[in-house]
Amino acid sequence: MTKLRMGIIGSGGIAQSRHIPSYQQLSEQVELFGVYDVDYERAKEASVLFNITNVYEQVEDMLKEVDAVTICTPNKFHADLAVEALKAGVHVLCEKPMAMNVEECDRMIEAEKESGKVLSIAYHYRFMKEPRAARQVIQAKEIGDPMVARVQALRRRKVPGWGVFTNKQLQGGGSLIDYGCHFLDLSMWLMGNPKPVEVSGTTYNRLSKTPEQVNLWGAFDHETFDVDDHVTAYIKFDNNVSMLFETSWSANIAEDKESVSISGSDGGLEVFPFQLNKAQYGMLLNSSSEWVPGEEDPGLPQAENFVNSCLGLEKPIVSAEEARTVSQVIEAIYESCATGRSVQL
């Protein structure tokens, strides 16, 4: 079987910790053909470390020789690189978030349609085994119609002190666009991707602008910190579903918390850990799982889905249109905070 020639654009942390190791496990289907980074020396180091055949100084040279690319750059460069790759006839898996704003997302989708190639976004929480189990239970109508989602993605004093995570020009935001985006995507996917119609949000960065920081994930400059470190939002959808959402890098809480709880007309569920809650037989019943099938590392099933989509064997689990909706909600949260009003979509 002819192998899919994979190129890696951006050879930093997420490429080396998730994407490249996942493709290495799929060596019968994928050849790690080349790597490109604006820092050529870092790309060379990655090529040696992971035995990648080619190192490129120009991304356009890579696009002439690969079948697919995985984009692992700062958010600012997602759209332009994805559009360039699609126009070159190359499939694209782009790291989350899809882009800096909806306008960039639309350019990416237009290029996808014109090219006929695959464009998917790396929202890897969808590939975790607990969410996949929750999705199956919801689709089986065990909780009836989803009505209310309560979503929290909270870290205690863990602003990323490495990379460009706190650079607004390169990233477009902070905790919301970096971390909370996963949980917006996950919760909307679990509820069947309802259409958001109204968003009200508030963003904060007071904690990270105070001196004498206590931060567990490295040092950062509190004086120049200009992205959000804590965000709250209330989101209404067209089918009378609503979501209470909160995310933070640096909350003053007892411990980190990742929680997705969905209440439906006939029951409810918690995702982390999985639990089904029902009122049945005159009782209140809570059912937990002794075992959930699936990989511990979501990077592998994510890579498998992308590769198989490129080969025409599957459809992408994360579509570009769904990822655009996540970016639309993020943009609306920021706008709502800036204007002091809810945003109608």
Q: For position 257, which CATH number holds?
A: 3.30.360.10
Same domain, 145 and 52: no
Same domain, 194 and 270: yes
**Residues 285-320: pLDDT tens digits?**
999 999 999 989 999 999 999 999 999 999 999 999
Count of domains forming the chain: 2
- CA dist., res. 25 & res. 23, Å (int): 5
Residues 174, 337 contacting (CB under 8 angstroms): no
Q: Token pair for residue 170? A: 């390169």
Q: What's the pLDDT score for residue 105?
A: 98
Q: pTM for the full model?
A: 0.96
Same domain, 133 and 241: yes
Residue 344: CB atoms within 10 Å: 9
Same domain, 163 and 195: yes
Q: Token pair for residue 111? A: 């290029």
Q: Is residue 85 included in any domain, yes or no? A: yes
HSE-CB at 304 with a 13 A cutoff on CA atoms is: 9
Q: Is residue 261 included in any domain, yes or no? A: yes
Q: Token pair for residue 31? A: 């050849």
Same domain, 250 and 163: yes
- Name 54's bridge partners: 34
- CA dist., res. 131 & res. 119, Å (int): 22
Same domain, 131 and 118: no
Who contacts 48 (Cβ-Cβ below 8 Å, separation ≥6)? none
Q: With 90 as the cut, is the pLDDT of residue 18 above it?
A: yes
| Three-state SS sequence of the chain | CCCEEEEEECCCHHHHHHHHHHHHCCCCCEEEEEEECCCHHHHHHHHHHHCCCEEECCHHHHHCCCCEEEECCCHHHHHHHHHHHHHCCCEEEEECCCCCCHHHHHHHHHHHHHHCCCEEEECHHHHCHHHHHHHHHHHCCCCCCEEEEEEEEECCCCCCCCCCCCCHHHHCCCHHHHHHHHHHHHHHHHCCCCCEEEEEEEEECCHHHCCCCCCCCCCCCCCCCCCCCEEEEEEEECCCCEEEEEEECCCCCCCCEEEEEEEECCCEEECCCCEEEEEECCEEEEEECCCCCCCCCCHHHHHHHHHHHHCCCCCCCCEHHHHHHHHHHHHHHHHHHHHCCCEEC
Same domain, 142 and 289: yes
Q: With 90 as the cut, is the pLDDT of residue 1 above it?
A: no
Mean pLDDT, the chain, whole residue set: 97
Same domain, 278 and 308: no
Q: With 90 as the cut, is the pLDDT of residue 67 above it?
A: yes
Same domain, 333 and 257: yes
- CA dist., res. 345 & res. 329, Å (int): 9
- CA dist., res. 234 & res. 251, Å (int): 19
**Residues 224-254: pLDDT tens digits?**
999 999 999 999 999 899 999 999 999 999 9
Same domain, 18 and 131: no
Q: Is residue 252 included in any domain, yes or no? A: yes
Cα-Cα end-to-end distance for the chain: 47
Residue range(s) defining the domain that contains residue 241: 126-296+326-344
Residues 344, 198 contacting (CB under 8 angstroms): yes
Same domain, 131 and 69: no
Residue 318: CB atoms within 10 Å: 27
**Residues 83-100: pLDDT tens digits?**
999 999 999 999 999 999
Q: Is residue 321 included in any domain, yes or no? A: no
Phi, psi torsion values for 39, nearest 5 degrees: -95, 95
- In this structure, which amino acid lies at residue 170? L
Same domain, 106 and 240: no
**What is the domain-level CATH number for residue 46?**
3.40.50.720
Q: Is residue 80 included in any domain, yes or no? A: yes
Q: What's the pLDDT score for residue 2?
A: 82
